[in-house]
Amino acid sequence: MSSSDAKKKQAILSLVREFGTLQKKSPFVPGQSAIPYGGRVYDENELCNLVDSALEFWLTAGRYARKFETEMAAYLGVKHCSLTNSGSLANLLAVAALTSPKLGPDALKAGDEVITVAAGFPTTVTPILQHGLVPVFIDVTLPTYNVDVTMLEAARSNKTRAVMLAHTLGNPFDVAAVKKFCDKHDLWLIEDNCDALGSTYKGKFTGTFGHIATQSFYPPHHMTMGEGGALFTNDPKLKRLIESFRDWGRDCWCPPGVDNSCKKRHTQQFGELPFGYDHKYVFSHFGYNLKVTDMQAAVGLAQLKKLSKFTEARKKNFKAIHEGLSKYADRLILPQATKDADPSWFGFLMTVREDACFTREQIVAHLEKNRIQTRMLFAGNLLRHPCFDPLRKAKTGYRVIGDLKNTDRIMNDTFWVGVYPGIDAARRREMLRAFSAFLDGRAR
Ligand SMILES: Cc1ncc(COP(=O)(O)O)c(C=O)c1O
């Protein structure tokens, strides 16, 4: 870049920085301003990175994406991070990678069973079905909202090959029990960390325990790049497979714009191709193109620098709301961290007690009327959704162990409110005021 171009770029970026600094947040008016469950928290640094990557006009995954992958992996303490376009696609790629014929007899194949839960987000389960695998559903426990590990053995059959679970709304599942089960029976573990970035279990970040873990960077999540996701693994072979499926199914692993990373580009034999066929165009899988753009990664990189602060803010909000609501524990089941876990909660989960003299719908309506946004625990019980109608009717394609009583309970009585870093002391006060206004007059 010529020095006059560099100067122009600096002038643009300093204007962008000024623009970002001048952005005024509208003042919070209790009772009138909305308190969303989540949202983007950013400043001029994200804007500058975004514009910088736009001016560079590389567009596809480039230097920002590589830097993000390196820094994210270092942050978590995992060997490899591969970016993709969403948490759902990260889950798809995680399952796809484990079907690779390159894994030999360890590869997942149609008809194999994967143990999971129905209380959560659909795309933890979707890729299992999309690959002809059979999800086996077990119940969760309250008030951790995570897999009931006492059901794992009952769910196992001679077809069980993997466990795929999310850390529910940031609360780590019982990693020790799940890992012990997986190790004992030689099962793959896919850890959906989409809602739990920054949570720890026995002092170690979640997202580092599974053979593959997945992440979402959709705006309300712990950090964002608009649309975005990632996969983490310590296994270089799995990283190669993930990126092959992500990048058209190719055998070559050159980053965009680079040739001959393998140093054998024209000197190898593949399948029935002529000897020396260009490795860049050798396809070992039926893959996709699920790469990110460098603009997304540039935003993510600025967010990553804020992640520790975001985590602190989430924990602080959670603690304050928990303390404020503890006097209503006879009416609301309050959330509880899994033993040995320190969650960075995605939200504050509550279940209306069976003997409370109000329903979830009533308290949710009251909070929404007071401009406090609420959410369900996503699908509640995924099996009761229309997407499961054909499978339910055909009585095939999945198995259920036990009665999923708590999963149904969650579908009927559970909801959550935000703890995201955009919530400050004034907003917390307003949230607690609204809860009190509803609950004080409604003793059990
Ligand atoms: C547990 C879980 N997994 C996966 C996803 C999907 O992430 P994305 O929205 O980035 O596709 C979500 C979405 O919030 C989620 O909660």
Q: How far, in Å, from the CA of 221 to the mean position of ligand 1?
A: 9
Q: What percent of the chain has pLDDT over 70?
A: 100
**Max Cα–Cα distance, the chain, nearest Å:** 80
Per-residue pLDDT tens digits for 49-64: 999 999 999 999 999 9
Ligand 1 atom closest to residue 217's alpha carbon, by position in its atom list:
10
Burial class (CB in 10 A: 0-12, 13-18, 19+), 23: exposed
Q: 443: pLDDT confidence band, cut at 50, 70 and 90?
A: low
Q: Which of 85, 218, 225, 232 to mutate to test the pocket of ligand 1 (most atoms within 8 A of CB)?
A: 218
CA distance 435 to 240: 50
Per-residue pLDDT tens digits for 386-407: 999 999 999 999 999 999 999 9
Annotated catalytic sites, by residue?
221
Per-residue pLDDT tens digits for 103-122: 999 999 999 999 999 999 99
Same fold, 51-304 and 307-439: no
pLDDT of 267 > 80? The answer is yes
Ligand 1 atom closest to residue 221's alpha carbon, by position in its atom list:
14
Predicted confidence at residue 169, as pLDDT, reads: 98
Question: Are 42 and 303 a contacting pair, CB within 8 Å?
Answer: yes
Mean pLDDT of 308-326: 98
Predicted confidence at residue 216, as pLDDT, reads: 98
When the pLDDT of each residue in the chain is averaged and rounded to a whole number, the result is: 97
Beta-strand pair 341-342/134-138: unpaired
Q: How many CA atoms lie within 13 A of 350 on its CB side?
A: 27
Beta-strand pair 80-84/229-233: antiparallel
Helix-, strand-, coil-residue percentages of the chain, each rounded to 5: 40, 15, 40
CA distance 285 to 251: 8
What are the structure tokens assigned to 228, written together? 């975005």
53 touches ligand 1 (CB under 6 Å): no
Q: How far, in Å, from the CA of 52 to the mean position of ligand 1?
A: 28
Q: 25: pLDDT confidence band, cut at 50, 70 and 90?
A: confident
The Cα-based distances of 147 to 134, 186, 361, 397 in angstroms read 18, 19, 26, 21
Comparing 21-35, 165-179, 323-337, the range with the smallest average pLDDT is 21-35
The fold adopted by the segment(s) 307-439 is: Aspartate Aminotransferase, domain 1 (3.90.1150)
- 131 or 24: whose pLDDT is higher? 131
pLDDT of 132 > 70? The answer is yes
Q: How far, in Å, from the CA of 4 to the mean position of ligand 1?
A: 44
Domain locations in the chain as residue ranges: 51-304, 307-439
335 touches ligand 1 (CB under 6 Å): no
Question: Are 231 and 82 a contacting pair, CB within 8 Å?
Answer: yes
Per-residue pLDDT tens digits for 151-160: 999 999 999 9
Q: How far, in Å, from the CA of 11 to the mean position of ligand 1?
A: 38
Q: Which of 216, 290, 344 to mutate to test the pocket of ligand 1 (most atoms within 8 A of CB)?
A: 216
120 touches ligand 1 (CB under 6 Å): yes
- Look-up of token digits 């993709």: 84
pLDDT of 1 > 90? The answer is no
The fold adopted by the segment(s) 51-304 is: Aspartate Aminotransferase; domain 2 (3.40.640)
